[in-house]
Each structure stands twice: as C-alpha cells, then as structure tokens.
Chains A and B, each alone.
Chain A
C-alpha cells in the first residue's frame, strides 16, 4: 500500500463504456470504424486539389481570379463542417450509474407488481404526454435508462444518443442533437462545392477545344473530376434535399424510417411547430447544447491533504462505472477495484483544439 497524492481530474469520457474512440485529450470523439471517413476526406481533398492544380490557373487568368478564391473558402467551410460533425459528441447519453439503475429497477418492479414465474415481464415502457400526444419512452437495457423522447440507441457506437438521427459511416460518427446542424451544413456546402467544381470543369472544357480534351493527357484530370462530381452530385444533393425536408417538419431520419409520425392511426409529430420557418430555426439556430461527457469530475477530494489509500479506478470498458467520487469507502460497497493504466499519466497540457471539435470551455463550468 503506498500513499498516493491524487489531484488529477479524471474526465468522464475516459471511463465511458461504448465503442467510441477518443483523442486529443477527449476533444475528438469518433466511432470505431473510420475507414469510410478517410475515404470521404480523400475524395474531397483529392478532387479539390486537382481542381486547384489544373483548372484554377486557367480560369483565374481567362475568367476571374475570384473563382479560385471562392472555391478555397467553400472548400475550407466544407472541411470545417466535416470535421465538426465527425469529431463532436453527437449527444451521447451517459449510462446510468448503479444507484440510478437500481432506483429505476425498483420503480419498475413496484409498477409491475408480482409477475408469476415463467411469464414474461411486461415491456418496460413509460408513457408521457407531450403536446397532447402520448409518447412512449422505451427502456434501454444496455444503458439502463428510460430513453428521453427522440433518443435512440446506436448499436454501432453502443450508446444512447439524444435526438438520434442516424449513424453516418461517411463522417465516421453518429448524427444527433449536438452535431445535426453541422452535418446538414456539411451536406449543403458539399453540394454547393460539387456543383461549383462541376460547373467550372464544364466551362473549362467548353472554353478550350472540347474534342481535344479527351485525348490530351493533361486534361484527363478534368475528366476525372467531372466523373467524381457527377456521381457525388446525385447522392449528396439528394441527401441535402431529404434533410431539408426533414428539418422543415422537425423530424429525424430515425423517426422517418420507423414511420413514427406517419399514418392515420399514429401519433402526429408533437415536436413540430407546424410552421416551416419555426422548425428550421429551431433545428439550425437553436442553442448549442453542451456535451455531458466532457464534464470533469474530480478523481479525489479537492483537499490538499495526501490521500492515504491507493486510488483505483476500473478499466474504461467496464459498464456502469462509478464516478471516483462514489468509490470512496464510506459509500457503495460495490465499488469495483482494479488498476487503471491511465492513472500514471500526467494531466495533458492545455493545447488549443486542432479542428473544430469540443470546446474546452466546459472546464470553466467549475
């Protein structure tokens, strides 16, 4: 037993169960499979690089220098939105701690009464009235919570996400409450960028001699760009249109696929303001919700005294982890004890975030 001075703050995300990966001191959060995200990045950066290298010199001279300038701005905006969408916390709901889980279980048992053995227990559903509609809240067996309205469990990331839209492999992350507007702006700006590049490629091809274009070696890249843009256009523009439709109705992709609000026998969407402008404003200009994962919790008492016990926190992948606060001996006896390798690391220095992920101002809340 050694005396250990613990004043390091353990961030909640370090102990988060679920299949996410974190880096940059928790500022970047993504799903585990990132292959398709790298492909997206490669396609966008690659096509734009070809555009700047082969089209822009000609267009800047013969048409206007504003063309490449605007393209650069648009490209930077697209990349910023992509990184924001990919790296942000989509609105993950942390799992219930053991006391909370038990409290809910007891409430459920009290409500159900005695279930005869052999009979299946009734499904765990809570009914809530929202805007004069009855909405059913389902219980999540993994996270041990009743999911808030519009939340859903993503099986790929193994988390419940608030206002879950869908899991997008192209951005390598879930799209939920916190990053939906970045996702929408990404698809919108990417549509614009694709149309822009496509248009100016055609203009370039027309301004030079069109027929010679296909056989000249140095113009084969233009043809490549046109092909990439052509195929991208159909998918991205279509997706943007679909999400514009969803936003105007204040629906999520998840609700649309499940048909939650469609059909005569079903409940009408209680979240819609029945006004397109209001719906758009709420989704796109609403408040920026904080990430509850970034809340820093003290690994030990904030005294200056030396803590005369070996502080042990569990490995990150064990679910329903106690916060270290609760692991104190006077509290729950069920605190698990196993060494965590992260305890040895010194606190990471404050580095300005690389891309546009989590703001580190959550620390200022304390």
Chain B
C-alpha cells in the first residue's frame, strides 16, 4: 500500500535526527504503563494532545491485557489443567492484545506521526521498557541537522 511505502521511505530517505524515549510510569506498580509527560524535544513537531492520546490509548490496551479477572482466571485454570500444553495451540489474551497494539501503532504512524517526520516504535521491541519515538529531519522547515545521528544535537535542549 502506498501509505506503508511512505513509512519505509521515511526510514530510508530521511535522516534520523534523534530519538526520544518515553519511560515507564511505575506509580501504579509493575503494570505496564507509560508516562504521559510530553518530551520537550517534540515541542514544535507534534501537538501535545495527539501524543497524550496515543499514550493513553496504549496504556488502556496494556491494562486490558494485564487485567486480573474472570477471564484470566479461566484461562489460567484451564491451561493448568492441561499442563499448559494448550498454550501451544491457543493464543493467550495478552498476545491478542499485543497484536491489536501493533496494529494501532502502525495506524498511528501512518496517519499522524509519519506526516510529521516522527516514528513510533512498538514498546515490545524495546523490552516493554520505553516508547521510542524517532525524530527525522524536518525536510519542510529547511533546518539541517548536524551530520548523522549524534545525540549531541539534543544536548542544548536541557
């Protein structure tokens, strides 16, 4: 599809300026949750509300995946009764939600982030530790970023 092609073109033709990492929010315990704090590097690249919305939706997906309730008990007990062999053929609820998340991130990238020269990386590819946002050179504004991907370009932002 042409949109998908655009994402790949972004990755290969545009040069990566820097990456921002949205960290995990541990205030609710060990459940998977990302901070909704807006990174300053993205100030002039994307509206706050859009990013907040993305992170909040992701967080709600993770809550759904890790919910401990009737369905997870049923899944657990059934699996235990079959000595967990059932997991060889059945997809767990968590995996189903992860697929949804992957689709959601792809969709968000295509619609919102790629047109702004940004790219979200699915947290699972980073060990569920961070939500990585790659910032590509803004070709529209004409500002050229210093050579390749040296992180020193963000040093002054702090």
Kindly supply a per-residue 1/0 record for chain B positions 8-30, scoring 1 wherever the CB is within 8 Å of any chain A CB and 0 otherwise.
Answer: 10011111100111001011111
- The listed residue (A77, A131, A366) touching B29 by CB distance below 8 A is A131
Please name all residues of chain B whose beta carbon is closer than 8 Å to the beta carbon of A96 when the two chains form the complex.
129
Please name all residues of chain B whose beta carbon is closer than 8 Å to the beta carbon of A302 when the two chains form the complex.
8
Please name all residues of chain B whose beta carbon is closer than 8 Å to the beta carbon of A270 when the two chains form the complex.
29
* A93 and B129 within 8 A (CB): yes
* A130 and B29 within 8 A (CB): yes
* B102 and A366 within 8 A (CB): yes
B53 CB → nearest A CB, Å:
23
A327 CB → nearest B CB, Å:
12
* A285 and B77 within 8 A (CB): yes
A298 CB → nearest B CB, Å:
11
Please name all residues of chain B whose beta carbon is closer than 8 Å to the beta carbon of A348 when the two chains form the complex.
none
Kindly supply a per-residue 1/0 record for chain A positions 247-291, scoring 1 wherever the CB is within 8 Å of any chain B CB and 0 otherwise.
Answer: 000000000000000000000001100000000011011111110
Q: Give the contacts of B46-82 with A (CB-CB under 8 A).
A: 65-68, 72-73, 75-77, 79-80
A331, CB-defined interface residue at 8 Å: yes
Q: What CA separation (Å) do A76 and B2 show in the bound complex?
A: 52
- The listed residue (A106, A290, A297, A325) touching B95 by CB distance below 8 A is A290
A362, CB-defined interface residue at 8 Å: yes
For B137, the closest partner residue in chain A by CB is A330
Please name all residues of chain A whose beta carbon is closer than 8 Å to the beta carbon of B14 when the two chains form the complex.
330
A149 CB → nearest B CB, Å:
6
Please name all residues of chain B whose beta carbon is closer than 8 Å to the beta carbon of A295 when the two chains form the complex.
124-125
B38, CB-defined interface residue at 8 Å: no
Q: What CA separation (Å) do A214 and B21 show in the bound complex?
A: 70
* A365 and B126 within 8 A (CB): no
Q: What CA separation (Å) do A129 and B25 show in the bound complex?
A: 10
A128, CB-defined interface residue at 8 Å: yes
A307 CB → nearest B CB, Å:
11
- Chain A interface size, as a band, is 35 or more
A-B pairs with beta carbons under 8 A, tally:
153
* B16 and A148 within 8 A (CB): no
* B27 and A130 within 8 A (CB): yes
Please name all residues of chain A whose beta carbon is closer than 8 Å to the beta carbon of B29 when the two chains form the complex.
130-131, 149, 270-271
* A287 and B67 within 8 A (CB): yes
For B76, the closest partner residue in chain A by CB is A285
Q: What CA separation (Å) do A330 and B145 show in the bound complex?
A: 13
Q: What CA separation (Å) do A102 and B153 show in the bound complex?
A: 12
B97 CB → nearest A CB, Å:
9
Please name all residues of chain B whose beta carbon is closer than 8 Å to the beta carbon of A106 when the two chains form the complex.
151, 154-155, 158
Q: What CA separation (Å) do A182 and B85 show in the bound complex?
A: 12
* B102 and A292 within 8 A (CB): no
Q: What CA separation (Å) do A302 and B84 show in the bound complex?
A: 34
Q: What CA separation (Å) do A328 and B15 show in the bound complex?
A: 10
* B27 and A77 within 8 A (CB): no
Q: What CA separation (Å) do A76 and B93 show in the bound complex?
A: 26
* A80 and B84 within 8 A (CB): yes
* A148 and B30 within 8 A (CB): yes
B28 CB → nearest A CB, Å:
7
* A285 and B30 within 8 A (CB): no
A363 CB → nearest B CB, Å:
10
Segment at the interface with B among A33-41, A55-63, A164-172, A353-361: A353-361
Known: A287-B65, A332-B149. 8 other contacts (CB 8 A): A93-B127, A106-B155, A130-B28, A131-B29, A148-B129, A288-B76, A356-B84, A361-B91
20 contacts between A and B (CB under 8 A): A99-B149, A100-B126, A106-B154, A106-B155, A130-B26, A131-B29, A182-B84, A271-B30, A281-B68, A285-B76, A287-B93, A287-B94, A290-B94, A290-B124, A303-B8, A328-B12, A332-B148, A356-B84, A359-B87, A365-B98
